[in-house]
Structure 1
Amino acid sequence: MTLTPAAGRDRLPSLTGLRFWAALLVVLYHLSRQVGPVPGLSEAVWYGRSGVTFFFVLSGAVLAWTYDGARVPARVFLWRRFARVWPLLAVSVGLSVAVWAVMGRTVPAGAVAATLLLVHAWFPQPVVFTGGNPAAWSLSDEAWFYLVFPALLAVLAGRRARVWAWTAAAVVGAALVLWPALSGLPPTTRNWALDYLPLTRSLQFVLGVVAGLALRRGWRPPLPLPVAISLVAGWHLALVPWSNAVPDALWYGPYNASQWLSAPLFAALICAAARADLDGRRTGLGGAWTIRLGHWSFAWYLLHEIVIRVAVFHWGKPAPGGGTAVFWAGVAAVSLALAAMAYRWVERPAERWLRGLAGRSSPAPASSETDALSGADGAGACAPVSAGPPGR
């Protein structure tokens, strides 16, 4: 049976809730790295950057589940994706560059331009792919995903289930081969190639696309949601010994492997949560406040590192002890409050305005599919998932 996505925002509320938890994982990871550790919690989130991997898989799954190329031309799809992510990107880059300036650091104009053009992750120089806003590198990857998505869907949609299964297996296998294959590169270049380069990160997006197509056709994942959640949580706790062995070596094998090997588990989690929503089962992830937090997660993702930077610059890092936990809580609360305001007064109004411009210049027929794409996303982009509801 083929699923027809229903109209309305947040039709898969559990995915919206998961977006918040994935963003929280990234925030706690950055707090641990840039402020100081909180015993126990820091170990648990030391590989929390894999939350970005979750958003890449989620982005592919949701877009595959919502997008109908027969009704929505590729140019409309791409414009709506631009309207969804670019305005808040531009605001966050402006804030980030201003903060760097106050701190006495100048960001090259070329790095800012590359960020605003969403091509910065294609450059191996750290000053370029993190210069404008360090958290925004994932949007460069998402832009590439959006660009190739219509063609990718044309190749995969309508295929038999075994084609999707073999595609998923090939993607997982390619990731396992890619990790050691790049071992000969200089550490910084290898880190960029595995963590930032859109081509390599595309494997995670493709895995999500296959999962979304399977869900659309009515596939029922064999794992119930509680088991899928337990597998993801257990995997990250199993990484704690790695964090003790290689806490800061971002280019070191286990760190990169932790993200690549998480992708299949994230795909299983996304499918299990979506299937529960489609079956009308309560999951505990789709409450009113969790959905609201999920909507704010894109802005939170883009703004939290800037708030961390300001706080550390102004007050310095807290002394080890209970003060670190208080510092964490204060930064998280302030950045989340700013994200709520940015969502209400920047993100959503700007998206509606830009979508309106496209509608006036080249009207597109209204449909549940085009409406669904107003927020369908995952990402490191963390944008809201309207079909389910980055972000992405």
Structure 2
Amino acid sequence: MTSTWIYVFHFFTFRFVLDQSHHLQFVQLDRPRFLTMAGNMALSSFFVLSGFVLTLTTSPRTSLMNFCAKRVGKLYPIYFVTSALAIVAILLIGMPITGENIALHLTLLQSWVPFQDIYHGVNPVTWSLSTEAFFYVLFPLSLFLFRRLSTRALVILMGVAIFLEFALPLYAARYFTVRSGGDHSAFLTSGNNGGDLVYWFTLACPPYRFLEFAVGMMCCLLLRRRVVPVVRQRWAWTLVAIGYLAGTFAPGPWQRTSVGLIPLAVLLIALAQADLAERACFLRMRMFVRLGDLSYGLYAIQLLVLLPSYPFLLRGLSAGLGIDEQVLGRAPWNLVFLVAYFLLIVALAMPLHRYVEVPAYEFARKLFRDRPASPTFAAERAETPDRAAP
């Protein structure tokens, strides 16, 4: 679901067009605010869910080396393949790229640099994977500390994280309103949202986005301690809808992260409780389960397929059908393209999942399995051995 919403957001946001000289040029499309909120909320759900699931599925018998091997095996193979494809595509179409940009991307460090041509460069979607890699680095120590907090302290800490999620964008917007200069260019307009530095801070900055990951971790621990009241799915979805509506009209720095955090955390708890109790949920449908399996590949490859091919598709159809390109770029044609590209990207994500993601992870999870369990992952006494979450 997350990758699908992000795909819709990207389809109506990023685009290459052919200029008068028949060269590809990047443009930012005007899109309604509710669609912007869809992309922002989907990314927040990814970070919160990641913290929750990683906390729930990390066994106390895991060695630190085995944990690191599994995280690298899960994250890096598809990342490397799609980044390499992006670099080759950029070189083939003659767009500028620097060695600095390539090095930062291949080492998963691009989200630490507050310039859009860096963290949105190469493959624009992978800034989130750079940010996620930082979460993996902090996860073992965070889990060790969180597990040893009392329930009261854990609730207070979650409240602090949520408060900072709202307060830090205001602080950044007040004191960090500067824009890119020099040789650095912006992919997306951020002037009305506090400037480029605030845009980076509330979008890609790893320490700030770690707050969402940490909230997901703490939701999992509180759920396993059986101190969370039962949350009905319909009320959780209603809260998400309210948060979505509020976020649509919220200022940019809040819209990107803060507004959706509490509704998404409540929804995650409701869905996990439903799964543990084996209650019905539409997300258990086979189609959604399969899309979940393909989500990483679908996410990583979507712009590599869409951006370079769309302008040529539009020009070819315009010449073949005798329809103006501007007409083809509007409804209902763009909705047809939206569905067609999605099906193509899903088809391409299948071999990525089968021949890259699964074999790499299966190999990685076998590494260092015989090492002694790390005290970092030792379970607290109060923790119950619930089975894995969705």
1:60, CA displacement in angstroms? Answer: 0.9
In structure 1, distance between residues paired with 2:301 and 2:276: 32
Q: 1:95 to 1:42 in 2, by over 3 A?
A: farther
Q: 1:289 to 1:47 in 2, by over 3 A?
A: closer
1:319, CA displacement in angstroms? Answer: 2.7
Q: 1:239 to 1:200 in 2, by over 3 A?
A: closer
1:348, CA displacement in angstroms? Answer: 0.5
1:388 is matched with which residue?
A: 389
1:365, CA displacement in angstroms? Answer: 7.1
Q: 1:107 to 1:116 in 2, by over 3 A?
A: same
Equivalent of residue 51 in structure 2, options 54, 60, 67 = 60
- Match of 2:338, as an amino acid? W
Q: 1:262 to 1:193 in 2, by over 3 A?
A: same
RMSD between aligned residues:
2.7
Deviation per CA, 1:10-56: give whole Å up to 9, x if none. Answer: xxxxxxxxxxx121111111111135999999845554232111111
In structure 1, distance between residues paired with 2:214 and 2:137: 13
Q: 1:322 to 1:95 in 2, by over 3 A?
A: same
Q: Which structure: larger Rg? A: 2
| 1:342-357 aligned within 5 A | 342-357=352-367
In structure 2, distance between residues paired with 1:39 and 1:117: 33
Unmatched runs of 5 consecutive residues or more in structure 2: 16-26, 180-194, 315-326, 378-386
TM-score, normalised with respect to structure 2: 0.79
1:290, CA displacement in angstroms? Answer: 1.5
Deviation per CA, 1:328-377: give whole Å up to 9, x if none. Answer: 11111111111122111111012223334545xxx3479xxx9xxxxxxx
Structure with larger RCO (C-alpha < 8 A, sep 6+): 1
| 1:42-61 aligned within 5 A | 43-44=34-35, 46-61=37-52
CA contact (8 A) 2:37 2:256 kept: no
1:114 is matched with which residue?
A: 104
- Match of 1:387, as an amino acid? A
1:231, CA displacement in angstroms? Answer: 1.7
TM-score, normalised with respect to structure 1: 0.79
1:165 aligns with 2:138: no
1:91 is matched with which residue?
A: 81
2:330 is matched with which residue?
A: 320
Deviation per CA, 1:131-172: give whole Å up to 9, x if none. Answer: 231111111111111111111111110322111111111011
In structure 1, distance between residues paired with 2:124 and 2:135: 19
- Match of 1:289, as an amino acid? M
1:255, CA displacement in angstroms? Answer: 5.0
- Match of 2:78, as an amino acid? L
Q: Which moved more, 1:108-117 or 1:171-180?
A: 108-117
1:340 aligns with 2:330: no
Equivalent of residue 235 in structure 2, options 223, 227, 237 = 227
Match of 1:269, SS state, is: helix
Deviation per CA, 1:255-303: give whole Å up to 9, x if none. Answer: 5434222111111111110011111211121122221111111111111
Aligned-pair identity (%):
26
2:224 is matched with which residue?
A: 216
Q: 1:321 to 1:192 in 2, by over 3 A?
A: same
1:26 aligns with 2:6: yes
